[in-house]
Amino acid sequence: MAVILDVKGLHKIFRIHHTGKTIVGVGGVHFSLEEGEFLGITGKSGSGKSSLLKCIFRTYLPTRGTMVYCSERYGAIDLAQATEQQVIALRRREIGYASQFLNVLPRLTAMEVVVGKALEAGVSRDAAEREAREILRRFQLPEKLWDTYPHTFSGGEKLRLNLAKEMVKRPRLFLLDEPTASLDESSKRIVRDLLGEFKRAGTSMIGIFHDLDFMEQVVDREIRMNDGVIAGDIPA
């Protein structure tokens, strides 16, 4: 199996300006992810799970270390060194990130949000509209909501839209930061089935899940973090 992401010596140290102190978010993490593999990250609150994912997505610029990603567009690229333009292109076409928070532009309807993401990924308008309808249906987001603004959605509807807008891009690498945090059982089932489909289609994924039972049903392997480092590597 080919490695799609190879993380070595990754550190993210936060400098707190008003106190002059530093906080270690990620303190020297090494792991690799194979193509098509689904890796779960566990660890207690504050152990560095979100910081690690945010470094990979380049929300945070790592303090040191490398994250070599095998990109379709750029070949092997160190995400820690990638330019802002490269990061934008990778986010549009190759790397998806879904958290529990829906972060979308105001005055865009749910349908416009999802179509916009598909267009950014490079498909035609017809295909974007078709794929957006298909994914919104798969997530069982009621059709009467498609032309409304997501800020009025319920928590579960927001989470499903959040996943739909990332999944419509069909990312090669999909990062999930507790995206199922407040979903009911039937929504979780929908998400689990779609993640299973993505996995069968060869998508590589890294996920932090609030619900460990849920996580164990979808991942191939778990890494446990403690104080910013990996404390254990467990096959699921």
Ligand X SMILES: Nc1ncnc2c1ncn2[C@@H]1O[C@H](COP(=O)(O)OP(=O)(O)OP(=O)(O)O)[C@@H](O)[C@H]1O
Q: Which residues bind ligand X (CB under 6 A)?
A: 14, 23, 25, 43, 45-51
Q: Which is nearer to ligand X, 11 or 49 (CB)?
A: 49
Q: Which is nearer to ligand X, 25 or 150 (CB)?
A: 25
* Number of continuous H segments (helices) and E segments (strands) in the chain: 7, 10
For the chain, report the end-to-end CA distance as a whole number of angstroms: 18
Q: In the bound complex, what is the minimum distance in angstroms from residue 46's beta carbon to ligand X?
A: 4
Which ranges of the chain does DSSP label H, i.e. alpha helix?
A: 49-56, 84-93, 110-120, 125-138, 155-167, 185-200, 212-218
Contact present, 52 and 225 (Cβ < 8 Å): yes
Q: Which is nearer to ligand X, 64 or 73 (CB)?
A: 64
The amino acid that residue 4 corresponds to is I
Q: Quickly tell me which residue has 């890796």 as its tokens.
A: 39
Q: In the bound complex, what is the minimum distance in angstroms from residue 6's beta carbon to ligand X?
A: 21
Q: Which is nearer to ligand X, 44 or 125 (CB)?
A: 44
Q: Which is nearer to ligand X, 23 or 88 (CB)?
A: 23
Q: In the bound complex, what is the minimum distance in angstroms from residue 182's beta carbon to ligand X?
A: 14
Q: In the bound complex, what is the minimum distance in angstroms from residue 51's beta carbon to ligand X?
A: 3
Q: In the bound complex, what is the minimum distance in angstroms from residue 52's beta carbon to ligand X?
A: 7
The string of DSSP codes covering 153-185 is S-HHHHHHHHHHHHHTT--SEEEEESTTTT--H
